[in-house]
Amino acid sequence: MNEAVLAPTGFLSDGSSLQEWSYGTARVVFGMNPTATAADAPAVTPSAETRYFEEVFVQLGHAYKQHVRSTYDAFVHLRNELPVTNDGHRPMNDGFRSRCDAMVLSAVRESGIRVHEIGGTVTERLDTIVRLFGLPTVMDVDQAVREGPPGLRRTGPAPGDGTSGVGMTGPGARRRSSTSTRH
């Protein structure tokens, strides 16, 4: 789907193709279940199938980076400020998460896209994003967080046990922006 057709003046996205690329690439290194591997990549000789998938992700990386370079205006990286939680939903470990974050940030920086790294509570992060991009609000950010989903952390750092970031367009931006979050 072409997002520019749906929102020609710009929009926010809560995901990035770079995020999916980094996740798949890291799984080639860490295995299908990174929770089961040590904090560092396993020292196992990759199988022929694994080498094939590695090459697939190299090629996907070229396409995704080109797409991001031609469509995104800005990227906000939400720092991971909490330890990895084993929630049984996402296979994850610190080494895997760090590798994914480093890959995404490196690719975005190589593209020349503006990168903003932010942290803090959910409220602090939202305030920063609204201010950075001059976004209009329909209610006070504190109120929006209070009225948000019950599982949202409101006092400590925002959740994040995978790669996370937010990309968006500000006023007058001509291209797509992305918000990228995995948690």
Question: What is the domain partition of the chain in residue ranges?
Answer: 3-146
Q: What is the pLDDT of residue 50?
A: 87
Nearest to 161 by CA among 66, 118, 97, 99: 97
152: phi then psi, degrees, rounded to nearest 5: -70, 130
- As a residue count, the chain comes to 183
Residues of the chain by 3-state class (helix, strand, coil), percent to 5: 45, 10, 45
Q: What is the pLDDT of residue 181?
A: 37
Burial (CB < 10 A; 0-12, 13-18, 19+), residue 137, is exposed
Give 9-20 as a 3 state SS string.
Answer: CCCCECCCHHHH
Confidence tier at 9 by pLDDT (50, 70, 90): low
**Per-residue pLDDT tens over the stretch 91-146:** 778 888 889 999 999 999 999 999 999 999 889 999 999 999 898 899 998 898 88
First to last CA, the chain: 24
Q: What is the pLDDT of residue 106?
A: 95
Q: Which residue has the higher pLDDT, 134 or 39?
A: 134
Residue 150 contacts residue 111 (beta carbons within 8 Å): no
- Residue 152 scores a pLDDT above 70: no
Distance of CA 120 to the CA centre of its chain: 16
Residue 6 contacts residue 17 (beta carbons within 8 Å): no
Residue 47 DSSP symbol: P
Distance of CA 151 to the CA centre of its chain: 20
Q: Which residue has the higher pLDDT, 12 or 125?
A: 125
Mean pLDDT of the chain: 76
Helix (H, G, I), strand (E, B) or coil at 138: coil
Confidence tier at 161 by pLDDT (50, 70, 90): very low
Confidence tier at 8 by pLDDT (50, 70, 90): low
> What is the arithmetic mean of pLDDT over 78-92?
77
Tokens linked to 49: 């199938």
